Structures are given as C-alpha cells and as structure tokens.
C-alpha cells in the first residue's frame, strides 16, 4: 500500500495535459515506514496513521503514552499553560498488545480549546508564524489555535515515533536520546557516551548538564519579553504582502513565504586525509592507515553546485505538488489556476 499517492491528470495553463504523481503535501512522509499526521489544534483531536509497521511487534497505549507525557503542555513555567492530558487511543492495527501489520491509527482528543483567544488573528497574521503562508498556499486557514501549524501537530509525530523507537529497540537494541544543548548564549558540556534518559529528564529544560540547566532555568522568563523578537519577521503593507526582515530564512510553518529562501549547510572535515590514523580491518584487527589517492582537502567549493541542485530538486517537486493540490478549485474571488503570488514566490526563490 502506498498511502497518500495517486495519479492526477492536470491541464496546465497553456492547455497541455500531463500526469503528475502526487504526494500528500507535508502531512505524510516515509516510504516503507509511512506516517500521516492529522488534526488541528482546536479540532476534535489530533493523531497519526502509521503504515508499514511489521506484524508481531509488541506495543501498547502505555508505551505511546510515556512519550506523549514528555511533550504534553503544562509541564512547567516555561511551557504553554494549556492543560491537556493527551491520552493516546490506539484505534486500529494492534490486537492483544501486538501489531497486525495493518495501518495503526492513534488518536488524541483535544480537551482544552479556547478559540476565542485567536479572534484578532482572524484578520492579522502573526509575524514569523505560518498564518500568512497557509493563507497564501491554500487560500484558507484554521484560525483557532493555528490549525496544523500549531505544535499540537507534533503529537502525531511523537506517537508514531514511539512505535518506531520500539521497533528499533526490539530489532537492533537501538536507543535514541535528544537533549537541549544551548539556550540563547548558555551552552552545555555533555559526554555523549555516558548521559542517560534519566539525566535528560532530571530538570525542566531537559539538559543533562546540571550546571548549564540551572543557568537556563534562571534565565527563562514565562512572561513576554523582547528576547524572541529577534527572529520575528513583521509583515508590511505593500502591493504584495512581505516580511520586513527575513530572519525566518524564507520558510514559515514549512511553507515558503515569498522571501528569499536562505539555507545554511554544515560539512564535516574531509575524512580521507594523508595522516596516519588508527583503524581496524574487516576482520576487526587494529591497524594504521595513511590514505592515498586524490581527495578533496576541502569539500565545500565543490559542494556548492550539489547544494543548489538538491534545492532545485525539492522546489521543483513542491511546485508540481502545489499545482496539483492547491490550484484545482476556485479561490476567493473566483480565480482558478496558479495564483500570482505563487508565481512571484517561486520566481524569487
């Protein structure tokens, strides 16, 4: 099964017909282990459908709940005060505590919605949020809670991640740990070989360096401050809605906003070097290796066209998906076809 795929014959603006292979825009990802998240922040619920999970994998609602409890709101003074229990319900794909090999649906019902808090946002876009980009792309948006641009969309990702973690643990004895390394100008020192989940969970900022964590907590302020305003991109009223700055790098909520898309890519130093290094053979015997041959002493000059090509490939794919999904039905005002903002947006990038 290939969830989210289909074939669509679309007539282009010049009357040509072509076949476009469409993938659900942004809500589905993965090839064999495939995840689709669903739901809006102030809708009835959020969750995920996970397809491709092998049969006979032990999994329970309690195991998924452990991960959801780590991300649920209202945990401390530095998290959102929204009160949600985020109780996981497995709707399908599991029987008697083991997977069936069929799609697994997990639902979390929303309980603490206050849609009235968003009345002003029905007419004004929040700077650096996805309000504007959703409107530009789809011609409509869920105002209450930000819809799918809310952090509640990540509930489906965490629930699916709990299943993926269990699979990796059972098959390969693999553990995945993440932690907060820096907050503003406060950094941490963590030994990746020794830190544990208990170390991460020992404080509200989830930094295993206790000294750094204490500074991060002291520096946290639950009240609105100017600290977060650096990344804000206020909108200005021109012939085309634009941001006054481009500190979001041209992307907000996973959607391009019409500004230049700015991408920074880091490369580690070249691995193949002419210095003797300790290594092992295929049989596991320790040996010394001095690499020979012709190799890049620095990869970044030749990486430039490679990065450009990857960006072009992704944008071309997104362009086709946008035409296929978002330009078939009339927008407000009766226009059908490619919106002028979209053409300008892709021309700028």
- pLDDT band of residue 242 (cuts 50, 70, 90) is confident
**pLDDT for res 223:** 54
Share of the chain above pLDDT 90, in %: 19
For the chain, the first-to-last Cα distance in angstroms comes to 35
Beta pairing class for 277-280 and 235-236:
unpaired
Contact 233, 247 (CB under 8 A): yes
Q: Is the pLDDT score of 296 beyond 90?
A: no
Structure tokens that stand for 239 in this block: 């012939």
From the list 114, 334, 136, the residue with the least C-alpha distance to 235 is 136
Structure tokens that stand for 267 in this block: 């490369």
Average pLDDT over residues 168-197: 87
What's the chain's length in residues? 349
pLDDT tens-digit map of 33-58:
989 999 988 888 999 999 999 999 99
At 48, give phi and psi (nearest 5°). Answer: -150, 160
Q: Is 209 left (phi over 0), alpha (psi -120 to 50) or beta?
A: beta
Lowest-pLDDT range of 2-6, 229-233, 308-312: 2-6
Rounded to whole angstroms, the Cα distance separating 191 from 60 reads 32
């Amino acid at each position: 099964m290939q969830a989210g795929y289909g074939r669509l014959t679309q007539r282009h603006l010049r009357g040509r017909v072509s076949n476009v292979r469409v993938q659900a825009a942004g809500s589905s990802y993965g090839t064999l282990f495939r995840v689709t998240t669903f739901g809006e922040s102030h809708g009835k619920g959020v969750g995920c459908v996970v397809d491709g999970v092998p049969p006979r994998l032990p999994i329970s609602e309690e195991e998924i709940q452990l991960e959801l409890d780590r991300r649920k709101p209202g945990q401390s003074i530095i998290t959102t005060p929204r009160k949600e229990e985020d109780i996981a319900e497995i709707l399908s794909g599991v029987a008697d505590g083991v997977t069936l090999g069929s799609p697994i649906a997990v639902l979390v019902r929303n309980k603490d919605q206050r849609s009235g808090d968003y009345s002003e946002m029905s007419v004004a876009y929040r700077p650096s949020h996805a309000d504007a980009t959703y409107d530009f792309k789809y011609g409509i948006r869920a105002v209450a809670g930000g819809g799918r641009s809310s952090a509640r969309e990540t509930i489906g990702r965490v629930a699916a991640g709990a299943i993926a973690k269990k699979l990796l643990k059972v098959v390969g004895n693999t553990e995945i740990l993440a932690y907060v390394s820096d907050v503003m100008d406060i950094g941490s020192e963590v030994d990746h070989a020794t830190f544990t989940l208990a170390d991460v969970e020992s404080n509200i900022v989830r930094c295993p360096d206790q000294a750094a964590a204490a500074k991060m907590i002291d520096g946290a302020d639950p009240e609105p401050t100017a600290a977060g305003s650096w990344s804000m991109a206020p909108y200005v009223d021109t012939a085309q809605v634009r941001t006054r700055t481009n500190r979001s790098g041209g992307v907000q909520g996973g959607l391009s906003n019409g500004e230049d898309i700015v991408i920074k890519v880091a490369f580690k130093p070249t691995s193949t070097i002419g210095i003797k290094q300790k290594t092992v053979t295929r049989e596991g015997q320790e040996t010394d290796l001095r690499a020979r041959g012709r190799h890049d002493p620095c990869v970044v000059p030749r990486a430039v066209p490679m990065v450009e090509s990857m960006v072009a490939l992704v944008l071309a794919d997104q362009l086709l998906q946008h035409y296929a999904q978002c330009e078939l039905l009339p927008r407000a005002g009766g226009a059908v076809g490619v919106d002028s903002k979209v053409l300008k947006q892709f021309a700028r990038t």
